[in-house]
């Protein structure tokens, strides 16, 4: 094999490797999926959602418009599931599977929506006809979180705090597990 053949083979291998790496990198989603489960009393709460990244963008009032229904997540709508009835911000919600939606507002309480259309994409919003619970909650200023996070920052014996946090804004809802004796 001569020098020209070696150079041509090496160049072909380099191009093939670069093309393969580029194709694989393009296959990664911009927003990674997250699953979180929390036990509260004898109830399991599970959440599955996509985690968009702020990437220096203005979030609420810009990327996420005021006074419009927003899906807190990316791609498929954020799903929350729990296996026993709960009380959320003082209001009962039956065990089941729901999607979460939010209406952010500039200078007033935001609305957190539990909707029974559980297997939908993030747009369009399934509509108020399938809403099961709407809660008005005050958003809080918080330290910056680059990637949208849904978590349970406080968990006690029979209660927890559900938090949606992105950028410098957090929205929290208290959750209570009604007393049920262990089976």
**Rounded mean pLDDT for each run of 10 residues along the chain, 183 residues in total:** 57 51 62 93 96 94 96 93 96 97 96 93 87 98 97 97 98 91 64
Structural domain harbouring 15: 1-29
Shared domain check, 23 and 112? no
Tell me the pTM.
0.82
What's the pLDDT at 23? Answer: 47
Residue 94 inside a domain? The answer is yes
Shared domain check, 90 and 10? no
- Structurally, the chain folds into a number of domains equal to 2
- Report the C-alpha gap between 94 and 96 in whole angstroms: 6
Shared domain check, 161 and 123? yes
Residue 11 inside a domain? The answer is yes
What's the pLDDT at 122? Answer: 76
Shared domain check, 58 and 24? no
What's the pLDDT at 148? Answer: 97
- Report the C-alpha gap between 150 and 135 in whole angstroms: 17
Number of residues written out for the chain: 183
Shared domain check, 61 and 94? yes
Residue 125 inside a domain? The answer is yes
For residues 45 and 175, the answer to whether their CB atoms sit within 8 Å is yes
Shared domain check, 44 and 2? no
Q: What pairing do the DSSP bridges indicate for beta strands 43-51 and 86-88?
A: unpaired
Residue 182 inside a domain? The answer is no
Query: What tokens appear for 50 in the block?
Result: 């996509």
Residue 135 inside a domain? The answer is yes
- Report the C-alpha gap between 98 and 9 in whole angstroms: 56
Asked if the peptide bond before residue 124 counts as cis, ω within 30 degrees of 0, the response is yes
Shared domain check, 152 and 115? yes
Nearest to 149 by CA among 163, 161, 139, 160: 163
């Amino acid at each position: 094999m001569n020098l020209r053949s070696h150079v041509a083979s090496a160049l072909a291998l380099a191009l093939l490797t670069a093309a393969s790496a580029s194709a694989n990198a393009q296959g990664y989603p911009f927003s990674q999926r997250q699953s979180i489960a929390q036990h509260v009393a004898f109830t399991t709460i599970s959440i599955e959602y996509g985690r968009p990244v702020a990437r220096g963008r203005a979030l609420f009032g810009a990327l996420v418009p005021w006074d419009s229904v927003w899906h807190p997540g990316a791609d498929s709508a954020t799903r929350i599931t729990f296996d026993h009835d709960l009380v959320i911000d003082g209001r009962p919600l039956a065990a089941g599977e729901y999607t979460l939606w939010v209406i952010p507002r500039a200078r007033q309480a935001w609305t957190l929506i539990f909707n029974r259309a559980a297997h939908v994409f993030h747009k369009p919003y399934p509509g108020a006809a399938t809403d099961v619970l709407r809660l008005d909650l005050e958003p809080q200023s918080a330290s910056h979180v680059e990637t949208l996070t849904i978590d349970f920052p406080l968990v006690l014996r029979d209660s927890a705090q559900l938090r949606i946090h992105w950028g410098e804004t957090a929205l929290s809802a208290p959750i209570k597990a009604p007393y049920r004796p262990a089976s």
